[in-house]
Structure 1
């Protein structure tokens, strides 16, 4: 059982300042079988299929769409443990009947090549058939304003997500705070953050107080750090200034919050949004909250960094109850919990280590909008 101390607006249990965004993983011909044996790959055994980006496959006919007209909404379930394609955001799609994308005849003296879809071109309307195609999947209406979570994600739903993977675009305010010049070892991620407006990001002061703005950039709209196959790309912005809380204490992490002012605004997009802030001295109205991030799945050297954004829902703990519980630990009976902290957790077998070391604390208010604590 573990309680998590959370600063007002940011979590404080951070192992160290720097993190790593994982690079592209090496994929073998066998792929990831999830313990189920070898997975048949797309196009094997003479099948007229090929792997394409999920938005290049017509959701009704499951055929490669050369026009690029579809946005891919609702056409793919990402199965983490098994996938016919090497990229989790690619889907196995039928080749068109006109043979325009069929691979060239094989030369026995040359190795086979993996077919790839051509760039989008104009496409004549399909010939009439005896059975009309099913109606296209409708995109849900997306509300405007802050604090709106996309609980069902954008474009697709994850199937078989057993490790707390967040849906694509589920938390549109989530930001990766990074070093502007990413080192060769990939250790570029500094912290998580939350988008407050098109030019302001909230993050932990301990992550940036030793760095100047010219050393920092932010990435919004990120989801899978090992892939760039999402239909909607992430956006990167440089930081023009850093405003840390005037009472931030790096030794105790009291008032651990900072604002990053971006050099130029973030462009609006359906997978990018802002989080709401509570009113000053507003009481916590929710009994639970979400923790999100890309960090390690365990403390210490055994922990592995996450490629896909993770989430976990934890119960909030009342301030006095949390302080009383902490006084029973090695902190002693005179320990005083600073007002800039809050607590969450306390459930056996459930903790934020299974999600991230860079975490945002999010709670829903009575108006069903998510607030940043």
Structure 2
């Protein structure tokens, strides 16, 4: 194993399931660390993913619905998926408004996805059937192409998911939770992670309020006052291996860095 890979594996823990090339282990557990309980229909774009891999391994991740047929998640979540069950529109994890299943998932990985460095940790999934849109199931808006240069530094943002409540928790959350924090500048984030790139976006976790194991692939959203609506600005990627509640930033894939690719694959694009 290359030294660079060893260092990365010691530094970070994937916020949902471990990616195979870093061999950090598998399993389903957790809740948002230090978060609040979500209300019904508060996050209608939130998708839960139960992912089956070879040898009867299972994991849990989040995702964001961006149209009635496409959703975004982290590439490391679905790297080895052989079957996926999609939970749409629910606050209670096992009580979705719509349940979809496929044994032949159509997953589009970013062509530059690198599981060793976690660069370009983003994937599009085409749902096996159309999502039935309603108050509980609605796509999240993407930033417009004109917003590609927005860094969102220090704006308030919200992450949601079924991840761990704290570093000691080992139980799967039955309820969707969320945490509201501020986006941290990449410059500040590099004090914690030397490998932060322009394609990442970081969230402050002061006070132990953070994404955690089980939240990977889930959304980071910002309520854009110019659009008067929530927009998807991040996809939960990783955090410090030492723990979710230690105050280190949470790292996300920056959605604005991939708007052209998302549009090309899914047809979803905003000016």
Partner secondary structure for residue 218 of structure 1? strand
CA RMSD of aligned residues (A): 3.0
Q: Report the alpha carbon displacement of residue 180 of structure 1 after superposing the two structures with TM.
A: 6.2
CA distance in 2 between partners of 1:282 and 1:194 (Å): 22
Q: Does 1:172 align with 2:44?
A: yes
Q: Return the TM-score normalized by structure 2.
A: 0.65
Name the CA shift for 1:346/1:219 in 2 (closer, same or farther; >3 Å).
Answer: closer
Q: Between the two structures, name the one with larger relative contact order (CA 8 Å, sep ≥ 6).
A: 2
The answer to whether the 8 A contact 1:19-1:189 is kept is: yes
CA drift of 1:237 comes to 4.3
Q: 1:261-280 to 2 correspondence within 5 Å?
A: 261-280=126-145
TM-score by structure 1 length?
Answer: 0.49
* Distance verdict in 2 for CA 1:315–1:210, change over 3 Å: same
Give 1:16 deviation, angstroms.
3.0
**CA 1:233 to 1:254, structure 2 compared with 1: closer, same or farther past 3 Å?**
same
Question: For each residue in 1:197-219, what CA deviation from the matched residue of structure 2 results, as whole angstroms up to 9, or x when unmatched?
Answer: 1110111100111224xx12312
Match for 1:357 among 211, 215, 219? 215
Q: Deviations over 1:308-345 (max 9, x none)?
A: 1000101111122322x23xxxx6xxx34212211111
Structure 1 residues 293-332: aligned runs within 5 Å:
293-299=161-167, 302-323=169-190, 325-326=191-192
Max Rg structure: 1
CA contact (8 A) 1:19 1:191 kept: no
Distance 1:308 1:350 in 2: 17
Q: Identify the residue that residue 65 of structure 2 maps to in structure 1.
A: 195
Counterparts of 2:157 and 2:38, CA distance in 1: 14
Paired residue for 2:98, among 205, 223, 234? 234
Residue 115 of structure 2 corresponds to: 250
* Residue pairs, 1:89-168, within 5 angstroms: 164-168=36-40
SS in 2 for 1:316: strand
Query: Counterparts of 1:351 and 1:277 in 2: how far apart (Å)?
Result: 23
Matched with 1:207 is 77
Q: CA 1:356–1:20 in 2, change beyond 3 Å: closer, same or farther?
A: closer
Contact 1:219 1:234 in 2 (8 A): yes
Relative to structure 1, is the Cα distance of residues 270 and 308 closer, same or farther in structure 2, using a 3 angstrom cutoff?
same
Judge conservation of contact 1:237–1:263 (CA < 8 Å) in 2.
yes
Worse overlay, 285-294 or 244-253: 285-294
Q: Aligned equivalents of 2:137 and 2:187: distance in 1? A: 36
Q: Does the 8 Å contact 1:235/1:266 carry over to 2? A: no
Alpha carbons of structure 1 residues 237 and 201: separation in structure 2 relative to 1, 3 Å? farther
Using the alignment, how far apart are the partners of 2:135 and 2:29 within structure 1?
Answer: 24
Question: What 5-or-longer segments of structure 2 have no aligned partner?
Answer: 1-12, 20-25, 235-271
* SS at structure 1 position matched to 2:188: helix
Query: Would you identify which runs of 4 or more consecutive aligned residues in structure 1 move more than 6 Å?
Result: none
